[in-house]
Amino acid sequence: MSETDWRHDRIGTAHRGQNPTVLRRLDAGFAVIGDRQFLPGYSVLLTDDPAVSRLSDLPRARRAAYLTGMERLAEAVERACRRLDPAFRRVNIEILGNTDPYLHAHIWPRYDWEPADRVRLPVWLYGEEYWRGERHALSDRHDGLRDAIGQELDVLGGA
């Protein structure tokens, strides 16, 4: 499977162990690191069922498991980013569903070093240059960050 193919079936490739962004399998989804890292630590919780398009599609027990996984990933990102960057500010959590048809939650770390005109605004207002090209693409230079978030997920899984 080529590197671009997994992006067309993120959940299926996660189940098959072919999605390179997967950090950990959680009870009701997959914790993945984001393709774009202009805000280092950006992660996503994917549902484990591609037919689930909204939170309300899940039965209550699975919904609770998904939301527990979301807060676990958010706390893991917070802990890892705080440890790695003293300018870490907070985590923003979003479930939008406007582009990808399956349930997923965005976990966005925010930093004091962000431009003053963006730090208090939604990340979606960052310019096109942040969303395209190689400068902010996930790569092996993010391996330490990936490991830190994964380790925090492991610690929080036992909590």
CATH of the domain at 115: 3.30.428.10
Strands (E), the chain: 22-26, 29-33, 43-47, 88-94, 104-111
Q: Tokens 């299926």 identify what position?
A: 12
Helix (H, G, I), strand (E, B) or coil at 14: helix
Q: Nearest 5°: phi and psi at 63?
A: -60, -45
| Number of domains the chain contains | 1
Q: Report how far residue 55's alpha carbon sits from residue 85's, in angstroms, rounded to the nearest whole number.
A: 32
The residue segments making up the domain with residue 60 are 5-157
| Res. 1 pLDDT band, cuts 50 70 90 | very low
pLDDT on residue 5: 80
pLDDT on residue 133: 83
pLDDT of 3 strictly over 70: no
* Helix axes 143-157 and 60-84, enclosed angle (nearest 10): 130
pLDDT on residue 4: 56
pLDDT tens by residue, 69-78: 999 999 999 9
Query: 81-95 burial by CB neighbour count: b if 16+ within 10 A, else e?
Result: bbeebeebeebeeee
- Overall size of the chain counted in residues: 159
Q: Report how far residue 24's alpha carbon sits from residue 154's, in angstroms, rounded to the nearest whole number.
A: 8
Quote the tokens at residue 90. 């907070």
pLDDT tens by residue, 95-135: 998 889 999 999 999 999 999 888 888 999 999 999 998 99
pLDDT tens by residue, 5-43: 898 899 999 999 999 999 999 999 999 999 999 999 999
